[in-house]
């Protein structure tokens, strides 16, 4: 499993992904699920993947190769004129890779599936955030739904629903994601540290270096431990029920 979240704030994008992959419970590895492409002043693209690792690595490799051979006719996400066109290229690539596996005589084609979050900005256009499905279609984040999750989304969702605000600072947004990831990591063995984090400030057309939060990261530990206490205090302050029976 995997857990990735992208928040679309008024200030820009905040993206976080875990790094655990597993094929069974006893075959666990660490792989980067966040990929970043940047042409400073012109475009910033961030991509996070959930699903079959062979599929997502193939998608990333194809996108990478096309960028390095721009003279080829193949569409490159570095040449596409808009975020929408970038999303179409990624979606088509994803569908092709899955289709190639599914057509090759293997039966478990569902197992080749993957889902992608794509966020970024191209000069002249707004920040946009897309969720791309294995079928090759995609949806875009809106004012009503300004964040997307992929992978193991359920444990970490209630806090996002309750505490997310578009006007948040990047600092508060990272805190929110740490809480959401910590709840998920505590509940599902297939989501694990370290975490990759990327911030993109709208209009900057330049991405600060994404960084990795290790399991022993001081801030992560502060939030992970503090959140348990904070939750309990919040819980204790709510009124107990007056029971209709004596029990």
Of the pair 51, 156, the CB lying nearest a copy of itself is at 156
Scan for tokens 């996002």, then name that residue.
Answer: 160
Of the pair 70, 208, the CB lying nearest a copy of itself is at 208
Judge whether 178 and 159 are in contact, CB under 8 Å.
no
Of the pair 31, 219, the CB lying nearest a copy of itself is at 219
Of the pair 114, 176, the CB lying nearest a copy of itself is at 176
| Shortest Å distance, C-beta 212 to a copy of itself | 10
| Shortest Å distance, C-beta 242 to a copy of itself | 7
Q: Residues in the site for a copy of itself, rule: CB under 8 A? A: 11-12, 154-159, 161-163, 169-172, 174-176, 178-179, 183, 186-187, 199-201, 204, 208-209, 211, 219, 222-223, 226-228, 230-235, 237-247
| Shortest Å distance, C-beta 198 to a copy of itself | 9
Of the pair 56, 184, the CB lying nearest a copy of itself is at 184
| Shortest Å distance, C-beta 152 to a copy of itself | 8
| Shortest Å distance, C-beta 71 to a copy of itself | 34
181, two tokens: 């990831």
């Amino acid at each position: 499993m995997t857990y990735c979240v992208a928040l679309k704030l008024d200030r820009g994008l905040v993206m976080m992904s875990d790094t655990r992959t597993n094929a069974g419970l006893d075959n666990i590895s660490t792989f980067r699920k966040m990929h970043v492409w940047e042409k400073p002043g012109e475009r910033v693209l961030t991509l996070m993947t959930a699903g079959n690792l062979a599929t997502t690595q193939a998608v990333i490799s194809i996108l990478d190769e096309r960028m390095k051979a721009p003279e080829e006719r193949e569409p490159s996400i570095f040449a596409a004129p808009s975020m929408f066109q970038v999303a179409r290229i990624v979606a088509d690539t994803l569908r092709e890779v899955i289709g190639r596996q599914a057509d090759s005589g293997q039966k478990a084609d569902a197992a080749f599936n993957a889902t992608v979050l794509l966020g970024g900005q191209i000069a002249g256009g707004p920040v946009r955030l897309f969720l791309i499905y294995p079928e090759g279609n995609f949806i875009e984040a809106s004012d009503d739904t300004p964040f997307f999750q992929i992978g193991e989304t359920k444990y970490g969702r209630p806090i996002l629903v309750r505490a997310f605000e578009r006007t948040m600072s990047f600092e508060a947004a990272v805190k929110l994601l740490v809480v959401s990831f910590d709840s998920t990591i505590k509940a599902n063995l297939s989501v694990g540290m370290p975490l990759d984090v990327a911030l993109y400030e709208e209009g900057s057309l330049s991405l600060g270096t994404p960084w990795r939060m290790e399991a022993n990261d001081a801030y992560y530990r502060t939030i992970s431990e503090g959140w348990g206490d904070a939750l309990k205090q919040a819980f204790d302050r709510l009124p107990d029920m007056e029971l209709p029976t004596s029990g």
